[in-house]
Structure formats: C-alpha cells, structure tokens
Amino acid sequence: MATIVIPTEEEIKKWVKDAVKESMETAKPKEVLVTNVQEQLLSPKMISKELGVSEVTLRAWRKEGLPAHKQKRKVYFLHSEVLEYMTKKKAKKKYDWL
C-alpha cells in the first residue's frame, strides 16, 4: 500500500520560491531600454508651424503614414515620431529615381 504525503502550505510556498529563484538565476538577461523621458503630445497647429507646412498637408501625410495619436477625438503628434517620419520620407524621395 502506497503512502500519500500531503505537503503543508509552507512547504509548497518554499518549493515555489525556490523554483522561481532558480529560474531567475538561470535565465539569460535581456537588454531593456528604460527611459524616464515622457514626450509631450503636440497639436497639429504646433507641428505645422514648426515644419512650415499647412494643417491640410499634415492631414495628407497622416493618410500616407505619419504617426498620430487620438485623444477624445483630437489628433496629436509626438515630435520624435514626426522627425523619424520626415527623415524616412526625405530618404525615400531622395532615392525615388532608383
């Protein structure tokens, strides 16, 4: 006849804790980029003024892929995303003839 041993709650907690600890020690660390910089959302008026284009042009660019964020039915842009888009757009335009 087999004996059944029922572990206590403390034993189970210890086993889980040990398993997690072992898993964390053997896991390969992943590169994580952490930034504390929070970028402000900019209105179409602000971005169009900075770029020297009309808000109509911004709307056209949005249809072409310019990243935008909506909050309560209003559209906003992140400066870094706009610059990245413009850089890609300029590079693509430069090599369109290829």
Check if the beta carbon of residue 79 is closer than 8 Å to that of residue 66.
no
pLDDT, one tens digit per residue, over 8-28 is 999 999 999 998 888 877 776
Question: What is the Cα 12 distance to its own chain's centre?
Answer: 38
pLDDT digits (tens, 9 = 90+) for 37-96: 678 889 999 999 988 999 999 999 999 999 999 988 899 999 889 988 888 877 776 555
Give the pLDDT confidence score for residue 24 in this predicted structure: 77
81, exposed or middle or buried, with CB in 10 Å at 0-12, 13-18, 19+?
middle
Distance, CA of 58 to CA of 44 (rounded, Å): 7
Alpha helices in 1-98 (DSSP H): 9-26, 44-51, 55-64, 79-94
Q: Is the pTM of this model over 0.75?
A: no
